[in-house]
Structure 1
Amino acid sequence: MSLRRLLAPLCAGTLLLTTACSEGGEVAPAPRADPPAASDPGEGAAEILADMSLEEKVGQLFVPTLTGTTPEESAEVISAYHPGGFIYFPDNLQDTEQIVALSNGLQDRAVDDSGVPMFLGIDQEQGMVSRLPVGERFPDAMAVGATRDPDAATSLASVTAAELSALGINLDYAPVADVNINADNPVIGIRSFGSDPALVSELMTAEADAFEAGGVVPVAKHFPGHGDTDVDSHTGLPVIDKTRAEWEEVDLPPFVAAVESDIDMIMIAHVFMPELDDSGEPATLSPGIVTGILREELGYDGVVSTDALNMEGVRQTHDDGEIAVMAVLAGADQLLMPPDLATAHAAVVSAVEEGRITEERLDESVLRVLRLKLRRGLFDAAPVDPGEAAEVVGSAEHKDAAQQVADSSVTLLRNEGGVLPLREGASVRVVGSGSEEIGAELEGMGFTLAASAADADVAVVGTNGARGDAEQKGLVTQAQDAGVPVVVVAQGNPYDISELPGLDGYLATYSSVDVSRAAAARVIAGEVNPSGRLPVDIPGTDLAFGDGLTY
C-alpha cells in the first residue's frame, strides 16, 4: 500500500501529504509532503519505509531519463515504477517557465503516487558539461583549478545551486573529484580541477559544501577515479592498470575528503582496476570496491549512485536486468539511467522475491535515499515560483560572478618579446575557435580587426583540442607564415602547445564558454592582469604544474 493511500487526509490530526487543515476545518494548501514527525531523518525514514510496498521500495532506487518536456508525458512511468528521481537533459528543457512547470508537475505526481518527492537531477558541472538552456555559464573545473582559489569554487557552486533551486532541480551530478593526470583522457580532461590530489580535494569540497548550502544535493564522481584513462566509458570499459599504492596516492585523496565531509552522494565509475578487484567487472558491479573499499574501508554511509547504466562500459558482459541486480548487490543505492526501466525494475523486484537481494539489503538503500530526501528538505519543499525563477536565473549578479572566475583563471604561458599586452591601437587578426567572441571583445576595447594576418600587427588564433586536429594546426601555421607575432588562445585542455612550436604568445582559458573568451580578450588587451597558474603538467614541454606568467 502506498504511503499516500495509507496516510489519508484527516482534519482531526496532522496531514502528512499535500493538504492541511485550517482552524475552521477547511482544507488549505500546504507543502507537498510532510513526513511523520521524528527527532531525526533516520527515524522519519524508517516510518516511511515501513509503509512502502516492495515495488515502491525498488522504485526509489531508480533514476531514469525523462520523455518529452511535460510532466504528463512521464505520468505513467511514475505510477508504474515509483522512481526515486529523474535526470534532466537538454531535450527536456526549453526555458525557465517550462522547466519550472516540469519540476512542479513531476513532484506533484510523485507525491500523489507514493507520498515521496523525487530527486530531480541534472549534469550541470558548468563549462562543457552544462545541460540547462538558461542561466549563467561558468568555466570548466580546470579553470577553477587554475585560480587556486576555493572562493572561486564556492562562487560557481553557489550560483549554480541558486539557479537550479529556482528551477525546481534539487540534485546536481557534480563536482568531478577525478584527478586528471592523463593528457589523452578523452572524457575527463578540463572537467577535472587538475592533476594535484590536494588541489582537487580542496576545490571539490568547496563546491560540494556550497551546493549543499544552496539546497542542492552534490554528487562527487567518479569513484574510484576516472582521471587516468584513455578510453571513454561511454563507449568502452577503461582499464586502469596501476598499483593500489599509486591509486591511494593520486586518485583516492579527493574521495577521502568527500567521505570526511559527509558528502550527500558519491557516483561509481564504469572502470576496471584489477589491482583493486580482479573479477573483471567494472567498479559499478564490484562488491569489493563499492562495499569493501568505499563503505567498509572508507566508512562512507551516504548515498551511492551508479554512473549511467546505458553506457557501454557497464553493458559488455551482462543483460540490462542483471546489471541492475548486480549494482544493488555491489552496494549501489541509486541506479542511474537504466536503458530499459521496465526490465531493470522487474529484475530487481524478482531478485528480492527470490531472496537473491535480501529485504535487509534493499531497505538499507531505500533508507539512505529517504534520509537524504528528508535531510535536504524535499518533503517540506513548496512548488517553485516561475516569477522568482525568472529573476534569479541568469541575473546580472550571476554573470559578474562567472566573469570574475574566468578572469582569474586565464594562464599566460608564453609571452616572447613582450607581445602581450597589445599596444594601444594595434590591429589584430582573430581566427579559429571563439574568434567571433574574442574579436568582438577586442574591437569593443578599441583595437582594429584586420582582414588578414598579413595586414595585422598580431594574429590571435583560438584553439580547442588542436593536438589531434590538422585544421586547427594549419590555422596557426598560416598565421606564422604571414610573418607576424602569433598568440594562441587554448580554450579546451591546455595541452595544445605541445604540438604548436614557435608561438610568441600562449594563453590557456581551460574553457570555451563566453566569459572565458571574454577573459582571454581582456588579458590580451591588458585590461586584466593574468593570474592563473597551470593546474596540470604539459607533457613534451617545459611547462609544469604551477607555471604562469604575469604582466
Structure 2
Amino acid sequence: MTALLLIATLSAACSGARSDAEPTPPGAATTPAATPAPPKETPAATPSSGQDAVAERLAGMSLEEKVGQLFMPVLYGSKASGAHGENSARYGVASPAEVVKKFHLGGVILFPWSGNVESAEQVAGLASGLQKAAKTPLLIGADQENGLVSRLSGLVTDVPGNMAVGATGDPGAARAAAEVTGREMRALGLNVDFAPVADVNVNPANPVIGSRSYGEKPDKVAAMVAAAVEGFHDAGIGAAAKHFPGHGDTGVDSHTGLPVIKHSPAKWRRLDAPPFRAAIGKGVDIVMTAHVVMPELDRSGDPATLSKKIVTGLLRGDLGYDGVVSTDALDMAAVRKKYGDAEVAVRAVLAGVDLLLMPPDLPKAYGAVLAAVKSGRVTRDRLDASVTRLLTLKAERGVLSGEGDEQDPEAVLRSKEHRATAQDIADRAVTVVEGAGDLPLKGDILVTGPAARALAGLLDGAEAVPTADTPTAAQIAAARAAAARSDSIVVTTEDAGPAQSRLVAAMAATGRHVTVVSLSAPYELSRLGGYDTALAVYSSGSASLRAAAKALDGSLTPAGKLPVGLR
C-alpha cells in the first residue's frame, strides 16, 4: 500500500525504526510508556490513485455498514446461496450470502471444517457468489501458511512449511513459496493469505508455533518474512504478518489457554520485533495480533489483542505501522476468558484493531460495536479510521474495483512449474543432523512410523510397517519382527511423544542401523535416542517425503542447515 508504506516509513524514521531485517534495530524506546505518541485517530491516508474511490465509498456508507466492515467471520456451507443450519442457528439467516448482506460484512475466512473447501471449482464459485452478495467487495482469506497449517490442502501445491524454508537459508525460497501460494489462492478467488508467520520460535516446547516459524534467529526470520511479503505481493494478494507482538516463546497454546511471555522491552525489540519491522518495511497489508500477555510491555494483564499500549503504542507508534491490524481468531480461549464476547470486540477496536476475525457470536459482537459507536465510547473518527484502512487495502489489492485475473483454477493450481518450485525448496531443506557419512543407505530397508507407507513407496524395494501417530504395542512388535529381514531401518517421527520414542528405542534394540527422519520441528530429535543417523525435513508433505527419499538413496546430497538449536 503505497501511501500507507510512506506513512510507516516516515514514522519509522522519526522514531529511529528501521525497515530492513537487521536483528537489533536502534532507536526504540526503553519502555512501552516512553514510545512516541501514536498518530491521531483520523482516517488513514490513501494512495492518490484510489483516494477518491475510498473516500466516495466511505461517504456512501451508513453507520451499520461501516461497523460491518470490521468483521470477518466464518460462514458455513459450500455455496454462497446454499442454506446451512449452522448459519441459521448462529446468524438468523440460512445462506452465506444472506449473512454477508445482513451484517454488511467486510470479509470472510474460509475453512474446510465449515464446509467451505471441497474442490477448486466449488471454492471459486463460493468466492464469486459471496462477492456478488456484498455491497462493498469482500476480503476473502484463508490460513494457508503451508506445512502444518494448510486450510486449502489438497487443492493447492504442497509447498513445504516455514521451518523447511528457513532451513534453506535462502530468502528467495520464502519469496518463491509465497508467490506460488498467492497465485493459486488468487485463482480460487481469494485475496488475502493470513501468512507469513513472523514469530521467532525460541521455545522448543512451544505447542502452537514450532515448525510454523522460519526459525530462532531474529535477523534470519526477518529476512524470510520480508521476502514472503514480497512474494505474496508478486502474486497480487494481501499478506498478514502474525502474531504481534510475538508468539515464539510460549509454552501454552492460546487456543486453549492464556500464554504469558515475560520479555522485557529490550528483549522484545531484539528478539520479537525485527520480523514485524521487516514486514512493515515491505508494505505488509495486515498485522495480526496475538492473544498473549506480555506484562513487561503492558501491566494491565490484557492480551495484546486488547492492549492499546501494544497495538497503538508499539505497533502503530514505535514501529510506525498504519495499515490494517487484525485480531487473531476471537473464538480462542485466551481472549475470551476475561471479558464476554461482546465486550472483547469493543475493547479490540479501542485498542487500535481494525479487523475482528472469527467472533464466536457475530450478532452479539456486531451489536456491541454498533452500540459503542452510537454511545460515543468508540468515536466516529475512530470507526472511520479503521474502515478507511480496510477500504485502502481493498483498493490497493484490486478488490474494491473488482479487478481479477479471471483465470481457470485448474490451469494454475498444482501446475508443473509450481510443483517444481515446491520440490526445489523441499530438496534444499533436507538437513543431516547426525551421521552424514552413513548415507546413502544400503541393503534391504524397512520403513516404519507415521508416513512409513508413503516414504517406503519412494524407496526401491523398501518394506513398510506403518504405525499410527501414537504407535501401539502391536505395531511396535510388528516392526520389530520385520526388522529381522532388513539391513537398515528408517523410522519417521512427527512431534515424537513417548510412544514414538518407544518405537525408535525398539528399532535401535534390534542392532540394525537406524535412521530417524523428522517430519516436523526437529526438537524431537533431542528427545529420542539410539539412532545412528538423523535427517530433518520439517514436513510430512509429499515434496518433503520425496526429498527425504532422495537423501536416503543417495540421489540428493543434503545441504540444509538447522534453523533452530537442539538442546
- Bucket of the pairwise TM-score, normalised by the shorter protein: 0.7 to 0.9
Which residue does 1:96 correspond to in 2?
120
- Counterpart of 1:431 (choices 445, 448, 453) is 448
Shift in CA distance, 284/448, structure 1 to aligned 2, threshold 3 Å: closer
Which residue does 2:299 correspond to in 1?
278
Query: Alpha-carbon deviations, 1:347-378, whole Å to 9, x = none?
Result: 11100000000000000000000011011111
What is the rounded CA distance, in whole Å, between the counterparts of 1:447 and 1:312 in structure 2?
45
Shift of 1:44: 2.4
What is the rounded CA distance, in whole Å, between the counterparts of 1:430 and 1:150 in structure 2?
33
Matched, 1:493 2:515: no
Which residue does 2:61 correspond to in 1?
52
CA contact (8 A) 1:179 1:200 kept: yes
What is the rounded CA distance, in whole Å, between the counterparts of 2:107 and 2:119 in structure 1?
21
Let me know the Cα RMSD of the aligned residues.
Answer: 1.6
Q: Which amino acid aligns with 1:263?
A: V
Shift of 1:80: 1.1
Instruction: Note the residue ranges of structure 1 that are not aligned, 5 or more in a row.
Output: 1-36, 540-551
Q: Which amino acid aligns with 1:239?
A: V
Which residue does 1:313 correspond to in 2?
334
Shift in CA distance, 255/66, structure 1 to aligned 2, threshold 3 Å: same
CA contact (8 A) 1:168 1:384 kept: no
Matched, 1:390 2:410: yes
What is the rounded CA distance, in whole Å, between the counterparts of 1:369 and 1:42 in structure 2?
13
What is the rounded CA distance, in whole Å, between the counterparts of 1:524 and 1:393 in structure 2?
30
- Counterpart of 2:77 (choices 45, 68, 80) is 68
CA contact (8 A) 2:73 2:358 kept: yes
Shift of 1:281: 0.4
Query: Alpha-carbon deviations, 1:265-307, whole Å to 9, x = none?
Result: 1000000000000001000000010001111111100000000
Query: Alpha-carbon deviations, 1:173-192, whole Å to 9, x = none?
Result: 00000000000000000000
Aligned residues: 491
Shift of 1:477: 1.4
What is the rounded CA distance, in whole Å, between the counterparts of 2:49 and 2:105 in structure 1?
24
CA contact (8 A) 1:309 1:339 kept: yes
Q: TM-score, normalised by structure 2?
A: 0.85
Matched, 1:236 2:236: no
Which residue does 2:545 correspond to in 1?
517
Shift of 1:449: 6.5
Identical columns (%): 49
Which residue does 2:424 correspond to in 1?
404
Query: Alpha-carbon deviations, 1:60-104, whole Å to 9, x = none?
Result: 100000111110121221121111000000131110111111011
What is the rounded CA distance, in whole Å, between the counterparts of 1:317 and 1:47 in structure 2?
39
Shift of 1:421: 1.1
Which residue does 1:138 correspond to in 2?
159
* Largest Rg, 1 or 2: 1
Shift of 1:501: 2.2
Which residue does 1:334 correspond to in 2?
355
Q: TM-score, normalised by structure 1?
A: 0.87
CA contact (8 A) 1:427 1:449 kept: no
What is the rounded CA distance, in whole Å, between the counterparts of 1:182 and 1:262 in structure 2?
29
CA contact (8 A) 2:518 2:535 kept: yes
What is the rounded CA distance, in whole Å, between the counterparts of 1:297 and 1:56 in structure 2?
31
Which residue does 1:25 correspond to in 2?
none
Equivalences for residues 226-375 of structure 1 within 5 A? 226-375=247-396
Matched, 1:475 2:503: yes
Equivalences for residues 146-165 of structure 1 within 5 A? 146-165=167-186
Shift in CA distance, 535/82, structure 1 to aligned 2, threshold 3 Å: same
Instruction: Note the residue ranges of structure 2 that are not aligned, 5 or more in a row.
Output: 1-45, 82-94, 466-480
Shift in CA distance, 422/50, structure 1 to aligned 2, threshold 3 Å: same
What is the rounded CA distance, in whole Å, between the counterparts of 2:301 and 2:288 in structure 1?
19
What is the rounded CA distance, in whole Å, between the counterparts of 1:527 and 1:429 in structure 2?
19
Return structure 1 stretches of 4+ with deviation > 2 angstroms. Answer: 37-44, 379-385, 446-451
Shift of 1:43: 3.3
Shift of 1:392: 0.8
CA contact (8 A) 1:104 1:383 kept: no
